[in-house]
């Protein structure tokens, strides 16, 4: 049960992060830059948590 909830949360974070990056790229301005940086931070967090278990 815990694994299903965690996987669902990771999928939600991925979708929101990717959406923020794509929506931020469509317009010009500091707000869209902040959206892209937030989306990038979310995607990097997912990469960190995935690679953390394979760290030697």
Per-residue pLDDT reduced to its tens digit, 11-37: 999 999 999 999 999 989 999 999 999
Q: Calculate the average pLDDT of the chain.
A: 94
Residue 54: the pLDDT is 84
Residue 54 phi/psi, 5° resolution?
Answer: -105, 10
Whether 56 shows a pLDDT value over 80: the answer reads no
pLDDT of 53 > 90? The answer is no
Nearest to residue 34, comparing CAs of 24, 22, 23? 24
Q: What is the pLDDT of residue 36?
A: 97
pLDDT of residue 55: 82
């Amino acid at each position: 049960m815990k694994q299903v909830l965690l996987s669902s949360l990771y999928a939600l974070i991925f979708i929101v992060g990717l959406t923020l990056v794509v929506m931020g790229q469509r317009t010009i301005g500091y707000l869209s830059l902040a959206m892209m940086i937030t989306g990038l931070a979310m995607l990097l967090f997912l990469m960190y948590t995935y690679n953390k278990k394979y760290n030697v």
